[in-house]
């Protein structure tokens, strides 16, 4: 009843801890009696609490993994292992090929990205002009230095140091290839002395084959959610398709985002594909449209019918993007705690080929 409270005791003593498993307590409040417009059993409110209990996963012994072979030319770096091969473009600082069991997992390699398609609220506060310096900062980067380090027979680290000239900032992406075929990707951003606006996003983009359109993720969902719009999205394992992740706003803009993601996998009809595992968390979106496809010069100049579906899946794998705001749509910005001021940032995640035989939750727990 209104203004009443009750203490509920939950007995957690019987939980048997397992390595790498998270535990959540979900509450749901439902109507016990029918009311006008509310049938009995209707969910009125819900909440999720993560329990502060865990058992660490034992670290993988890298030396036990299959050996790697390294070769280089003026243009490329090639790392080969059991059932897989990776090629890196020295001029672009990206993965140009990632083959597992003879199948290509990517269409275009990972690139640094700082931009999102402006939302209605972004246009209202002038983000598209204020933050325009970030729109092409990742695309027009230049490679200052390439470092290749054979850490062991089963571990090779390749680092690309980028100059973001217009922003007068630096960025480094490191790819650590393991004998298992996993690739640990680490990003570090360092601003220079130039006064810079906030970052709309800090992350990476890549394109994967269109056939990998079945999406499974462990994170917040099932609906889109952002740093300042996520408490209604509970952490769980969800399934969807790339096409279903798209939100057809009448004015195309950033959409379909997922936060607090532990892992996400993109699978074809056979159940094979590519997994990205946060270390510890990432955010992602996966659409048949690029960020640029949905970027308008001014609000209302495009509609969903103007979008042409791409022949690949465009994937954002991010640290974060700034909140979507919404105090009003004619000037208010995201609150400071949900903004990304121009300062040092770093994050990492792991890419892993998967097959229909893999238990996605189980294989996500290695290499922590």
> Which segments of 15-92 are extended strands (E)?
24-30, 43-50, 69-72, 76-81, 84-89
How far is 150 from 98, CA to CA, in rounded Å?
19
Domains observed in the chain: 1-56 (no CATH), 62-363 (2.70.98.10)
Q: What is the pLDDT of residue 4?
A: 87
Q: What is the pLDDT along the chain (368 residues), one digit of tens a residue?
A: 678 888 988 888 888 899 999 999 999 999 999 999 999 999 999 999 999 988 888 888 999 999 999 999 999 999 999 999 999 999 999 999 999 999 999 999 899 999 999 999 999 999 999 999 999 999 999 999 999 999 999 999 999 999 999 999 999 999 999 999 999 999 999 999 999 999 999 999 999 999 999 999 999 999 999 999 999 999 999 999 999 999 999 999 999 999 999 999 999 999 999 999 999 999 999 999 999 999 999 998 999 999 999 999 999 999 999 999 999 999 999 999 999 999 999 999 999 999 999 999 999 987 54
Token digits of residue 39: 């049938």
Task: Give 268's DSSP letter.
Answer: -
Which pLDDT value is given to residue 368? 46
In order, the DSSP letters of 169-180 are EEEEEEEEEETT
Question: % helix / strand / coil in the chain, to the nearest 5?
Answer: 10, 45, 50
Predicted structure pTM score: 0.95
Tokens read off for 221: 């969902």
CB 245 within 8 A of CB 256: yes
């Amino acid at each position: 009843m209104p203004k009443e409270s009750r203490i509920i005791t939950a007995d957690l003593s019987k939980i048997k801890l397992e390595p790498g498993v998270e535990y959540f307590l979900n509450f749901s409040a439902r109507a016990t009696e029918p009311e006008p417009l509310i049938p009995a059993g209707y969910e009125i409110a819900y909440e999720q609490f993560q329990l502060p209990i865990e058992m660490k996963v034992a670290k993988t012994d890298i030396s036990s993994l299959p050996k790697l072979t390294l070769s280089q030319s003026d243009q490329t770096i090639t790392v080969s292992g059991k059932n897989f091969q990776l090629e890196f473009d020295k001029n672009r600082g990206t993965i140009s090929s990632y083959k597992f069991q003879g199948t290509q997992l990517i269409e275009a390699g990972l690139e640094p990205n700082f931009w999102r398609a402006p939302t209605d609220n972004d246009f209202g506060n002038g983000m598209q002009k204020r933050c325009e310096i970030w729109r092409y900062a990742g695309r027009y980067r230049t490679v200052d230095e390439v470092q290749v380090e054979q850490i062991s027979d089963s571990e090779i680290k390749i680092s690309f140091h980028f100059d973001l000239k217009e922003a007068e900032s630096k960025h480094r992406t490191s790819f650590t290839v393991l004998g298992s075929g996993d690739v640990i990707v680490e990003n570090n951003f360092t601003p220079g002395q130039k006064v810079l606006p906030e970052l709309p996003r800090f992350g990476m983009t890549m394109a994967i084959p269109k056939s990998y359109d079945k999406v499974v993720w462990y994170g917040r969902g099932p609906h889109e959610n952002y740093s300042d719009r996520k408490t209604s999205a509970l952490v769980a394992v969800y399934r969807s398709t790339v096409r279903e992740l798209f939100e057809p706003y009448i004015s195309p803009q950033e959409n379909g985002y997922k936060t607090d993601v532990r892992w996400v996998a993109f699978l074809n009809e056979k159940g094979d594909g590519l997994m990205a595992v946060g270390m510890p968390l990432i955010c992602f979106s996966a659409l048949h449209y690029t960020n640029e496809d949905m970027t308008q010069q001014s609000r209302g100049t495009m509609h969903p019918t103007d979008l042409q579906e791409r022949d690949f899946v465009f994937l954002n794998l991010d640290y974060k993007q700034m909140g979507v705001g919404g105090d009003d749509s004619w000037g208010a910005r995201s609150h400071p705690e949900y903004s990304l001021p121009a300062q040092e940032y770093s994050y990492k995640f792991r890419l892993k080929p998967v097959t229909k035989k893999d238990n996605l939750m189980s294989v996500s727990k290695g290499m922590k």
